[in-house]
Each structure stands twice: as structure tokens, then as C-alpha cells.
Chain A
Amino acid sequence: MRTIYILWLRQIKRYYRSKSRIIGSLGQPLLFLLAFGFGFGPIFQKAGQGNYLQFLTPGIIAMSIIFSAIFSGIEIIFDRQFGFLKETLAAPVSRVSIMIGRTLGGATVSTMQGLIVIGISMLVGFRFNSLLSLLLALLFMLLIALLFTALGTAIGSLMQDFHGFQLIVNFLIMPLYFLSGAIFPLQGLPKTLTTLATINPLSYGVDGLRGALLGTAHFGLLIDFSVLSGLSLIVIMIGAYLFSKVQI
């Protein structure tokens, strides 16, 4: 327990000390909100789909969370390069608890990031249903964060350096994001897109957030919750296994 706690604490400290990371990672969601939210708003409205900013915001929240989460997980590579990883790997504690501590820390940080995005989006006009929806959304934010931090940890355990990072952003994060229903509704899509969105775990995250905040879920909150938590568990186990095999 104390291992999990101290590693969690370390992630939190590193987060709030890196002001530039916090500010930098908020620029992109803000840009998306303004450019897409207001740019596509009129068309969306004409197509009879309602307010696009309302629709888009949960997607943007999810985006900021997965970027932050995958990055937190992949931070292992930093630790490897700066040498700190050795310090944890040689310690008389189980590697599973190290991995879980890191993952919980990364997930907490990413959820906070998501909360800040909710705050920003409210400044530009977003409104959620009730306080209860916010609490429910928090649950989904945490699940998305957990899943993708664990995924980042698993990937980071396999990588020796940062050379592959761009690859992961371009071939994993971007496709996951754009094919998740974060920026367009999942109804009435071409068959291939529907299939891709259905097997994309992030779709359930975005859908859960939308369902929680606005009450308009496509798959249904229970399905979203089950898929996300089941998958998180699996990925955490895979990540823990890969992390336990890391060599220096």
C-alpha cells in the first residue's frame, strides 16, 4: 500500500510542479473547442442535430484525458533515460504495486486535466445537466484515464527510448480519437466506420461521458461502464506483466 501511495504521490507532485505541461496540454482542447465547436456549429444545427458545442465537449474532455493518460504511462521511458527507473526496480517492493501506483497517479492527473477542460468549456458556453451528471462523468473520466494510463505503461515498458513515440501518437492515439465518435455522432455512419467505432474502446468512454453529462448515450451507460472497466482491468494486468519484465 505504501508503495502504491508513494508512487501515486510522485506523479501528482511532478504534475503540479510542471506548470508548462498543464498549460501546454490545455491549448489543444481549447483550440478544438473554439475551432470545431463554433466552426461546425451552424452546419450541425442545420442538420437538425442540435448544439454542436454541447455535443463536442465530452469528446474534447476525452481527448485531453487520453493524451495526458498515455503520456503519463509512457513517462516510464523518461524515467528509464534519466535513470530513476532503476531506483524503483531494485527496491524490495513488488513490481505490480509500482505499476499500480504509477498508473493510479497518472490516472488522477489525467482526470484533473479533464476537470479543467470542463471548466474551460463552461466558460465558452457548455452546460451539463446536473451535479449528479458531473459525478457520473467523473467516474467515466477516471475509467478512461485508468485504461489509457495502463495502455501507456504497457507500451512504455516495451520501448527503450522515445523514437517510437511519434509513431504511437500517429498510429494509435489519433485513430482512436478520430474514430471514437468524439467529433461526430455514431448514428447513420457508413458500415466500416460503425464497425471501427464499435471496436474502439474510446468510443465507450466518449459515449459514457456524453451520457453522463447530457443524458444522450448511444450504447447505453451500463454497456459503456462494463466495457471500460473490463478492458481497464485487462490492460492493467497486461501492463503489470510487461512492467514486471522490464530490464535495465
Chain B
Amino acid sequence: MNIIEAQNLTKRFGELVAVDSVSFGVEKGELFAFLGPNGAGKSTTIKMLTTLLTPTSGKITLNGYDPIENPDEVRHSFGIVFQDPSLDDELTAYENMDFHGVLYGIPRKERQVRIEQLLKFVELWDRKKDFVKHFSGGMKRRLEIARGLLHHPQILFLDEPTLGLDPQTRNHIWSYIKDLSEKEQMTIFFTTHYMQEAERVADRVAVIDHGVIVAQGTPDQLKQQTGAQSLEDAFLDLTGHAIREETADNWERVRRMRGVRR
């Protein structure tokens, strides 16, 4: 049985259909990339999977539970790194980690060991007593990732985890995550706009555009399907080369497309 299962999942915001009858499954232990252009509906899908947003219609099973009927069981099954900031600026880096550890029920001793290990991993151990409000964007991002890795859930959601990080750090973090997934049979559901990253890391990929899944499969399958050399080319093929190329008109187009939907 799939550890994540979505059937005809739909979310409307007023007239806008952000996620439009999406279906997919993710197997236990898999690294699953959920790709799509800006505004495609990736984050909205993740919010529905993680009990933060109620779907308009459709069915979700996560680790065997329905997020609507059994939100508590579902929340016990996953961890998440959000796309948007979610740190407490008025607390120190260490306090943010510790707060998380307490919320996720990690015993004190283990908490201390892991916090030290992870803060060293993201090179923030020296800054552990600094308030998060004094951190740079990349430092905050690294802290968010370290916090997300503090406990070892069955499913880990990563919404653009490496956004704004330098290539060294990105590689470093991805190899850690891959390792973790192998060691603990952890399922990883992630989004990213770095296609090379997805190609290298993901076992399977789903491409979503305007709320609709336009392709699913292994990176190789998608490349074959589109006759492309790289996942990036396959992605552009699937989600429309033309639109992304006319940069000046881009917004106008997006607006018009939304207008049609209204």
C-alpha cells in the first residue's frame, strides 16, 4: 500500500482552482519530487496533505489515515520544512530547535545530542545563542532545515528546502537527506525549482501545472516521453516553453489565464 495516496484532490480559493482533481501515490521509502512552475499548486497540495488546509473535494490517505478524520494520527506521521519562513524571530536558534524538539516529543538527552549534531551540520552551532531575527536569509533557511530533520518521521515533506542556498550547501543537505531516507526507510516528498537537483535525487517525479498533473514517472521515463536530454528540458516541454520565455508578458498572461478561470 502507498504511504501517501491522493485521489481527485481539489482545492478552490473562490473561483480559482488551485489544485484540480489531482491523483498520485507515493511508496514507502521513496524520494518523490513534486515539480511545477510558480503557482502550479504544489504548496497548496502539501498543505492539504499535512492537515493545514481542508480540501474542497477528493480523498487523501497518509500513512493509512485521513487528514480530515484523523488529523492527530496524520500529524504523528510526518515532519515538514515549509517554503515560507516559520521560525520564531524572537527566540534564539537553539530555542527554536528546542521548542520543536519538545513539541515533537523528543526526550531531553536525545534532543540535546541531535540539536548539537544538526546545528553543527548546518554550521550554525557557533551562532546557537543568537536571535533568529539577526540571521541572514540563508542562515534562516539552514536553521529551518535543521529543525525539520530533528525528529525522524515516517514521511518528510520538504517544500523548496534548498531555496536560496549556495550549491555547496545544497549538495551537502541533499546527501544527508538521501542517506536518512535509506537508513530509516523515510519517505521524502519534496518540491524544488532546481531541476538538476530533482533529477539527481528523485526516484519518481510528478509534474503539476495550473493545478493539473501533466506527467508522472521516473526522471528517465519523463525524458523518454518528451525526447529531452535532461529533466529540465522535459519539464519545460511539459509545462510550456513558450510561456516562460516571453518574460515581459508573463504577468499579463498569468492574469489573463486567471481571468478565464474566474
Query: Which residues of A does B touch, CB under 8 Å?
Result: 2-3, 5-6, 10, 13-14, 17-18, 82-84, 86-94, 247-248
- The answer for the CA separation of A92 and B154 in the assembled complex, in Å, is 13
Decide if A247 touches B102 in the complex (CB within 8 Å).
Answer: no
Contacts of A247 in B (CB 8 A): 52-54
- The answer for the CA separation of A6 and B91 in the assembled complex, in Å, is 12
B179 within 8 A of A: no
Decide if A91 touches B86 in the complex (CB within 8 Å).
Answer: no
User: How far does the Cβ of A26 sit from chain B's closest Cβ, in whole Å?
Assistant: 20
Mark out the residues of chain B between 72 and 118 whose CB falls within 8 Å of any chain A CB in the assembled complex: 72, 75-76, 78, 80, 82, 84-91, 95, 99-100, 102-105
Main secondary structure, interface of B, reads: loop
Decide if A83 touches B87 in the complex (CB within 8 Å).
Answer: yes
CB-CB nearest in chain B for A93: B103
B221 within 8 A of A: no
Mark out the residues of chain B between 48 and 74 whose CB falls within 8 Å of any chain A CB in the assembled complex: 50-54, 72
Contacts of A82 in B (CB 8 A): 85, 88-89
Contacts of A93 in B (CB 8 A): 75, 103
Contact of B51 among A18, A84, A90 (CB under 8 A): A90
- The answer for the CA separation of A3 and B90 in the assembled complex, in Å, is 19
Query: Which residues of B does A touch, CB under 8 Å?
Result: 47, 50-54, 72, 75-76, 78, 80, 82, 84-91, 95, 99-100, 102-105
- The answer for the CA separation of A90 and B95 in the assembled complex, in Å, is 18
Contacts of A248 in B (CB 8 A): 47, 52-53
Contact of B100 among A2, A17, A87 (CB under 8 A): A87
- The answer for the CA separation of A54 and B90 in the assembled complex, in Å, is 38
Contact of A17 among B78, B86, B90 (CB under 8 A): B90
CB-CB nearest in chain B for A248: B52
Decide if A92 touches B72 in the complex (CB within 8 Å).
Answer: yes
Known: A2-B102, A6-B99, A10-B99. A90 touches B52 (CB 8 A): yes
Decide if A91 touches B75 in the complex (CB within 8 Å).
Answer: yes
Known: A92-B104, A94-B72. A84 touches B52 (CB 8 A): no
- The answer for the CA separation of A3 and B101 in the assembled complex, in Å, is 11
